[in-house]
Amino acid sequence: MDHRGVRKWLKLITGGGAVRQQAESKPTTRADPGEVANTIEGEISESKVVQAGTIGGDVVAGQKVTGANALVVGQVVLPAPVVPAMESVSAPRSAGSVPAAGLFVGRSTELARLDAVVGQSRRAVVVAVHGLGGVGKSTLAARFAEVRADEFSFVWWVVADSPTALDAGLAQVSAAVAPETRTFPVEERVELGLRWLASHEDWLLVLDNLTGPADVAGLLERVQSGTIVITSRRSGGWQGVAETVAVDVLPEDDALELLSQIVRAEWPDADLTDAKTLCAELGWLPLAIEQAAAYLGQTKIIPTAYLDLLARYPARMFATTAEGADATRTMARVWHLTLDRLADTPLAMAILQVLAWWAPESIPRDFLTTMADTPDINDALGRLSAYSMITLTANTIDIHRLVQAVTRTPDPTDHHRAPDDIATARDLATTVLANAVRGLDPRLPPDWPEYQTVLPHAQALLDHTTPEDDTIPTCHLLSHLGNYLDGQGETTSAIAHHTRDAHSSNRILGPNHPNTLVSSNNLAYTYRAAGHLDRAIALFEEALSTSERALGVDHPITKLIRTNLAIARQGD
């Protein structure tokens, strides 16, 4: 029946031209209904009339018709949609939603591990691919799905970064295998998708960017067949839920190959002489390397120029993509999303911001004891570790250098990196180190291990700050470490520490303060130890003059400077 026939049929059952409200209501009845074939689904118009199915019962214009299985479209009663028996629905071979893996370099070990986990089981397989954001988990899963697609009757990719997104993906499964369900409500399609998965075996479902095991518990309770590959930043909590495949940063050769292929696709004769230095600065992280390589290829700049931009404009470079690239796939954006998931643990963010100022390896957990109670610190560290932002041992913490770089870079547009919060974390990181060396004596060998523990973290802190950032704790730290380095014979480093200490003390406390005069004495003393007697004598004389005027000729600091000046002159 075409739409003209439908219009005639409507005129017959409504008693007139257009469908109109009856003058008197007539009770709805299903007694002796006859049967109306070719009923209407959709609006009555010249352009949209769809014939579908049959209904029984009266069709009453202007009257609400109820019933467990009835649908009302306009003023026409429709039957309930026929729900397919999902157990008997075969997967269409053409169905598939896996994104292209794109440029894929290395990862043979991880692919082999994934193959082994999937291949060794004769029942349902659930495997969680986990690692730091930007490390290449999704790329690995896409590559696996691509090369193993022929082994499954159905392959489907679901963005699973929230319960709503996971439900939407399961609803799409239903529509993919049974297209007639596309118009069903989402909740019904989710149920049908689960029913189909539970009743079939040879399928592969990828759940990309799952927050954690809890989000997939309901699905795994219902579905105990097939193969599920999960990607997640959560490294823990998978025991009893899934086998795991850890994904780390790229080996050096693979990182260089990745950068080279991306750059040379746009710039075949590019000079990549310092590519290794760039990849090392980016911590061998695939996303960071891809982001940098695309920028190099587009702007035709060499790796050293990119490093210079990264040092001068870190916030901008962390958020910059090449023309046409996915703006959400940047280092800043990827880790912003991770930190959003940690918002319920404010101490975790505070700790991360402090860790960002120290060396990336072997940070003593004891450094954090003043930040909160031990159970709270342990909980916060556990959360950071669970999301692969740090790596924990019983005594130490490791953190990726690029996570540090992004975290300590202030950005007024990012509430996770507000400038005031970054400055507060920097000062706290400084105070922690200053307290760690307070009371130590650089002349006593038993104290040397503690100095050696603090030194790399202090050096990292000093490298990432300027003298204008220095505080009184910074000066204490510089003074202690300068004396230790001088005692170890590292006079060049000692001079650098004492020079910064003297300048910052003078700026903060003024030239007449006892601490400033001690700093000047220490600097002169180190110059003498290094054999620079002329410079040492000049500094001692200046400090002595100031000390006699400000503190008096008999003050202990004045006497100390006078004695050291006399020794220096004897050496001359």
Q: What is the mean pLDDT of residues 331-343?
A: 84
Length of the chain equals: 572
- Rg value, the chain, Cα: 35
In tens, the pLDDT along 493-514 reads: 999 999 999 999 999 999 999 9
- Map 41-84 to HEC letters: ECCCCCCCCEECCEEECCCCCCCCCCCCCEEEECCEEEECCCCC
**Confidence band of 60 (pLDDT split at 50, 70, 90):** very low
Is 161:154 a contact under the CB 8 Å cutoff?
A: no
Which of the residue ranges 47-51, 149-153, 243-247, 411-415 would you say has the lowest mean pLDDT?
A: 47-51
Strand order in the sheet with 227-232: 154-159, 203-210, 227-232, 125-130, 243-246
Please give the structure tokens belonging to residue 540: 């001692």
**How far apart (Å, rounded) are the C-alpha atoms in residues 148 and 96?**
13
Q: Are 385 and 363 in contact (CB under 8 A)?
A: no
Q: Coil, helix or strand for 206?
A: strand
Q: Are 409 and 317 in contact (CB under 8 A)?
A: no
User: pLDDT at position 278, please?
Assistant: 96
Angle at 182 between CA 181 and CA 187, to 5 degrees: 75
pLDDT of residue 332: 78
* Residue written as token pair 């950005």: 411
Tens of pLDDT, residue by residue over 423-453, are 999 999 999 999 999 999 999 999 999 999 9
Helix (H) or strand (E) holding 91: none
Q: Which residues, other chains included, contact 191 with Cβ-Cβ below 8 Å and sequence gap of 6+? A: none
Element at 134 (helix H, strand E): none
Calpha distance 527→541 (Å, rounded): 13
